[in-house]
Structure 1
Amino acid sequence: MPALDLTSDPVTLTAAMVDIASVSGDEWRLADALEAALRTQAPHLEVLRSGDAVLARTDLGRPHRVLLAGHIDTVPIADNVPSRRADGIVHGCGTSDMKSGDAVFAHLAATLAEPRHDLTLVFYDCEEVEAERNGLGRIEREHRDWLDADLAILGEPTDGTLEAGCQGTLRVELRTAGRRSHSARSWLGDNAIHRAGEILARLAAYEPRWVDIDGCEYREGLQAVRIGGGVAGNVVPDECVVTVNFRFAPDRSAEQAVEHVREVFDGFPLVVTDLSPGALPGLSAPAAAEFVAATGAVPRAKYGWTDVSRFAALGIPAVNYGPGDPNLAHTREEHVAEDAITACTAVLRRYLTGRPA
């Protein structure tokens, strides 16, 4: 089994973690390496293994607890493992999303024996695949107490900027019905694809909301992401399906988001195919406000959905903060700047110790 030195430079640790392939569903090697390293190099931590997730925590009796969470899986490798370092850059699958964030968290867990907040570390599996396989769900069901915290920090790639909360996401299918006929005698039929024009017209006319929450501005979006219909090149189609994605601000509940989309498309049959609530920023919570001050960053809204939503549902304020560039996630060219890893490590160390890095 490859060995990880958690006390090494987080840049070096990032490369070492990238070199242990961990595509979703096949994370056991990296989980084994993390577990072994935490048990042998961080005796001040209680360690728990849950499937291919590894959890660790202090029990120092501090008044507050901070949870650092990062998924250890990646999308399928694209000829970008093992890692490569050149000109201050670490290249490789997962460098940005999110093994650099994992490396920062693991390094701090091993080297901070006396943080001013109790710490919980959650390195979990299967984030990059369907939600029901996400390791956080299993941990919530089987080890709920391990997720209790005053603040959760997810190491998702944010380019070193603090991104608060997240949008909710909703997908629906809208169907139009018509009547088949031979296309040479189209007046005998009723074209379902043409009927979908009204759906597209409503989308084109839609005015999205801009919502300010805790100083973070969320912009909603309603977009057609797929359209399907047609039987053959000489048949007027009798059915068309338009898939619409609604990215909604976290001041709407999931139920309110569904009701809003029903109102927009009143008159069309609608089926919900995917729904995940958003997460409020929660920046007014004391631990979150303290972290904002420690970063010195101006928080911005998270455009997209992340697992901060799971913590928000548990009543735990959560933010996204990591060294990677989100625009590089899942690409063949995925990489992370070494100085970004170093900077994030310094900010988190300052926050967790109350002392300059």
Structure 2
Amino acid sequence: MVNPLSPEVLADPVTLTRALVDIESVSLDEQRIADCVEQVLAEVPWLSTQRFGNTVMARTDLGRTQRVVLAGHLDTVPLADNFPSRVDGNLIYGCGTSDMKSGLAHALHLAVTVDAPRYDVTYLFYEAEEIDSRFNGLRLVAQAHPQWLAADFAVLHEPTYGVVEAGCQGTLRAMVTTAGRRAHSARSWRGVNAIHAAGEVLRRLGDYRPRDVTIDGCHYREGLNAVRINGGVAGNVIPDECAVEVNFRFAPDRDDQQAQAHVHEVFAGFDVEIVDCAGGALPGLDSAPAREFLAAVGEPPVAKLGWTDVARFAALGIPALNFGPGDPNLAHARDEHVEVDKIRQGAEMLRRWLVPA
């Protein structure tokens, strides 16, 4: 196989972005891109490289007093008539341009061009972020090779449009169920309509006032919303069960247990089943590498409104933040694209941070 990631391509993060986009890597089909990345990193004399599944890790061991991680996922969502890449002026279009192959290009470009960073660096290129978490390469590495993640600070190259998005929200899904008694709709008074009973659940959601929370200068907005309703038996039957699925996005000052307790409190009197919960991550801006990173970027951080894999680092006690050139509002879109200028600016910022003055 001819590797499209040639030295000339690797030298330019913009050209490298296009080359990475043009390697199809929909979730669970990352072998080719992982092969290409592994081959490149294995040839770099200042890096030691290992692989686990389709996750590739490369690291320096220069004896620095601190270690940082640069991490990004190799996979994309399914193609949507947006492959291969194309260029239109200052824009590169294609699947994964924003989320997150332009960010991957930053990490890979730095890995092969910065031979003496101020910190020891671990570069992680992992699989299956866009699908069910049981496939997530970062989660699997944390279980099988936790030493790969050991660090004082981490940067996750999620799209942030060139600003620092610190920490992340937690997310919880719950099923709030109402019960009734089934009957023929022609004799509805003999039954109890569970869908009607769900009106109280919706009323509580409508009356709910979410918190705004400021942590380390970052403003996190919570939200509790119905995202799906299931109920009904047939067109002539009074339903005896209705389930309202709710999603709670919570600030990282709540842990999982506190978030679950809050949802149970809001829906007191109803049957509440927590079906999924992933805690958030505090901003973690106190470490020296984080402060130096913010100085290199030159802009104040903002809160990450959403859940990202920085939470996996936070669970290991590693402060982490999100930084990438793509616009998160374009992630997964048919017209997904990234600005060339943002790629270049982000690469320069990261180099200022990693390379001693």
- The TM-score range, normalised by the shorter chain, is over 0.9
> What is the identity, as a one-letter code, of the residue corresponding to 2:34?
A
* Separation in 1, partners of 2:151, 2:75: 23
Q: 1:19 aligns with which of 1, 19, 22?
A: 22
1:4 aligns with 2:5: yes
Q: Which residue of 1 aligns with 2:311?
A: 309
The offset of 1:5, in angstroms, is: 2.7
The offset of 1:83, in angstroms, is: 0.8
1:66 aligns with 2:68: yes
The offset of 1:284, in angstroms, is: 1.4
1:143 aligns with 2:145: yes
Q: Secondary structure at the match of 1:196?
A: helix
* Separation in 1, partners of 2:278, 2:139: 13
Q: Which residue of 2 aligns with 1:179?
A: 181
Q: Output one character per residue of 1:256-287: Cα deviation in whole Å (capped at 9) or x when no partner.
A: 10001000100001111111000000111221
Q: Which residue of 1 aligns with 2:223?
A: 221
Which range moved further: 284-293 or 342-351? 284-293
Q: Which residue of 2 aligns with 1:256?
A: 258
The offset of 1:3, in angstroms, is: 2.7
8 A contact 2:11–2:113 mirrored in 1: no
User: TM-score w.r.t. structure 1 length?
Assistant: 0.98
1:30 aligns with 2:29: no
Q: 2:42 aligns with which of 39, 44, 47?
A: 39
Aligned ranges for residues 139-218 of structure 1 at < 5 Å? 139-218=141-220
Q: Output one character per residue of 1:84-114: Cα deviation in whole Å (capped at 9) or x when no partner.
A: 1120111100000000000111001100001
* Separation in 2, partners of 1:178, 1:354: 68
* Separation in 2, partners of 1:339, 1:256: 42
* Separation in 2, partners of 1:247, 1:86: 37
> What is the identity, as a one-letter code, of the residue corresponding to 2:19?
A
Q: Which residue of 2 aligns with 1:324?
A: 326
Q: Which residue of 1 aligns with 2:236?
A: 234
Q: After the TM superposition, list the runs of 4 or more consecutive aligned residues in structure 1 that deviate by more than 3 angstroms.
A: none
> What is the identity, as a one-letter code, of the residue corresponding to 1:8?
A
Q: Which residue of 2 aligns with 1:112?
A: 114
* Separation in 2, partners of 1:143, 1:201: 47
Q: Output one character per residue of 1:156-207: Cα deviation in whole Å (capped at 9) or x when no partner.
A: 0000010000000000001101111222221111110000011001111111
Q: Which residue of 2 aligns with 1:282?
A: 284
The offset of 1:354, in angstroms, is: 3.5
Unaligned runs of 5+ in 1: none
* Separation in 2, partners of 1:32, 1:327: 30
Q: Secondary structure at the match of 1:156?
A: coil
Aligned ranges for residues 342-353 of structure 1 at < 5 Å? 342-353=344-355
Superposition RMSD in Å: 0.9
Q: Secondary structure at the match of 2:176?
A: strand
* Separation in 1, partners of 2:337, 2:168: 24
Unaligned runs of 5+ in 2: none
Q: Which residue of 2 aligns with 1:99?
A: 101
Q: Which residue of 2 aligns with 1:123?
A: 125
Q: Which residue of 1 aligns with 2:85?
A: 83
Q: Secondary structure at the match of 2:14?
A: helix
Q: Output one character per residue of 1:25-70: Cα deviation in whole Å (capped at 9) or x when no partner.
A: 0100000000111122x21100111110110000111111110000
* Separation in 2, partners of 1:18, 1:127: 16
1:266 aligns with 2:268: yes
Percent sequence identity is: 61
> What is the identity, as a one-letter code, of the residue corresponding to 1:12?
T
Q: Which residue of 2 aligns with 1:51?
A: 53
* Separation in 2, partners of 1:137, 1:232: 43
Q: Secondary structure at the match of 2:172?
A: strand
* Separation in 2, partners of 1:159, 1:280: 20
Q: Secondary structure at the match of 2:70?
A: strand
* Separation in 2, partners of 1:306, 1:43: 32
Q: Secondary structure at the match of 2:72?
A: strand
The offset of 1:140, in angstroms, is: 1.2
* Separation in 2, partners of 1:271, 1:86: 49
The offset of 1:247, in angstroms, is: 0.4
* Separation in 1, partners of 2:52, 2:39: 14
User: TM-score w.r.t. structure 2 length?
Assistant: 0.98
The offset of 1:79, in angstroms, is: 1.4
Q: Secondary structure at the match of 1:289?
A: helix
Q: Secondary structure at the match of 2:326?
A: coil
Q: Which residue of 2 aligns with 1:337?
A: 339
8 A contact 1:5–1:13 mirrored in 2: no
